[in-house]
Structure 1
């Protein structure tokens, strides 16, 4: 039986027509594909724009300060006594210790508030210098007493009157940090201080938004700084030298910006 293609059709013509059909459809497919790619690019582009818009933010710092008064005080009292023998030096330092305790009792401090923190004994003849062998100052005893109390104002008055100890025969040794005043209620202050610092930061961000004709949104990120206790007088040095102190905290906050 003869083949239909061979009997009734020209194969080359048939294949050419099919090729023509495919060629005619190719421009339409290309247009659809290009349109699809264009739309997807449009969506991708708008997605990036939205992400970038959402990432617009301003970083500001907020400050909060509060004047505080130390609620615990400490006083380091260093004194010394000498003697030709160890027993004589010990007798002298014991007498001076009683004098100091009596003075502090007069200022309103109980015996429990006073402790002996350190005692050091020095034999000067042990240096190899025989001149101290029969010297009245061969043995030197240095003693440190610590006073700790919540009677801050009474302690400050006692420190101001320490020359009375000298008048009574106590040989005092002075130091840079004899008195110290501490504020121990810091944890109770933290929530209110952080809130105040955050409000201060928002006020700064809102001023920036006003200047740039935009609006401030929510918080993107917030970082709490360290709490500092500073001298209220503004002087350099340790805040512990006086009861009057200043509590400070600085926070860093990122706020979103909205058009």
Structure 2
């Protein structure tokens, strides 16, 4: 084997980075030459920024009275508020298929004195409404519209929406192709410095695809933009 190759192999690891094709990136790439077998193992990275295609959002509303006799009227109020919220969702373009209206739950809390005698009660009715939609950019608008009900005295918990990317299988082939291409670019740099040529692939291993919120290392729920990443480990034959 070429003496240059042997010298580089004894050096252990070479890290390289650079921009990949079509907006992808070659991240930190590791070279590991196996001198005895005339091979080089390379890690190729492909990254792509995508937009979530499904959003989930939910809210809850509640009302409370002190007297059990007021529960029937409280239930009527809860139903009225529930319908008003649903009407807002529909006015903003969401359909019955996207909206899920939960049951109105009843709960009671008792307050006792030092003798364990009930001195007061709270009777609560809580309703939930959730939304699953592909209209991800309409969520912020409808959340703001619902929040206006707070000014009318509604007790609303407007939960943060979550965003998911569900079309990974559609972009997997192209990303794997890019990762493999980037690995060969890295191997060619190694081979050029070593005075040898890169041959065919001996082995290839695909790493797991990871999806994170854009710009984040962990977490994948709260941003519309996502970063998708995959690393492949490819062993190439080296020739004189």
Q: TM-score range by the shorter chain?
A: 0.7 to 0.9
**Bigger strand share:** 2
Who is 2:171 aligned against?
189
Deviations, residues 143-172 of structure 1 (Å, cap 9, x unaligned): 321101121111232224442132233212
1: CA distance, partners of 2:213 / 2:57: 18
Structure 1, unaligned runs of 5 or more: 1-51
Q: Does structure 1 residue 108 correspond to structure 2 residue 93?
A: yes
Q: Does structure 1 residue 256 correspond to structure 2 residue 237?
A: yes
Count of paired positions: 201
2: CA distance, partners of 1:62 / 1:111: 46
Q: Does structure 1 residue 163 correspond to structure 2 residue 168?
A: no
Of residues 215, 218, 221, the one that matches 2:203 is: 221
Deviations, residues 196-250 of structure 1 (Å, cap 9, x unaligned): 0111111111111112222111111111111122222x14553321222222211
Q: CA 1:114/1:64 → structure 2, altered by over 3 Å: closer, same or farther? A: same
1: CA distance, partners of 2:117 / 2:94: 43
Conservation of the 8 A alpha-carbon contact between 1:60 and 1:201: yes
Conservation of the 8 A alpha-carbon contact between 1:80 and 1:141: yes
**Which secondary structure does the structure 2 equivalent of 1:112 belong to?**
coil
Cα RMSD of the aligned pairs, angstroms, is 2.4
The residue correspondences of 1:69-218 to structure 2 (distance < 5 A) are: 69-83=51-65, 84-85=67-68, 86-117=71-102, 119-125=104-110, 130-133=118-121, 138-175=122-159, 178-218=160-200
Conservation of the 8 A alpha-carbon contact between 1:54 and 1:256: no
Q: CA 1:169/1:108 → structure 2, altered by over 3 Å: closer, same or farther? A: farther
2: CA distance, partners of 1:223 / 1:126: 63
Conservation of the 8 A alpha-carbon contact between 1:119 and 1:141: yes
Larger radius of gyration: 1
2: CA distance, partners of 1:237 / 1:174: 24
TM-score by length of 2: 0.74
Q: CA 1:238/1:95 → structure 2, altered by over 3 Å: closer, same or farther? A: farther
- Give the CA deviation at 1:112: 2.8
- Give the CA deviation at 1:55: 2.3
- Give the CA deviation at 1:253: 1.2
TM-score by length of 1: 0.69
**Runs of 4+ off more than 6 Å:** 126-129
Q: CA 1:248/1:53 → structure 2, altered by over 3 Å: closer, same or farther? A: closer
Who is 2:223 aligned against?
242
1: CA distance, partners of 2:135 / 2:161: 13
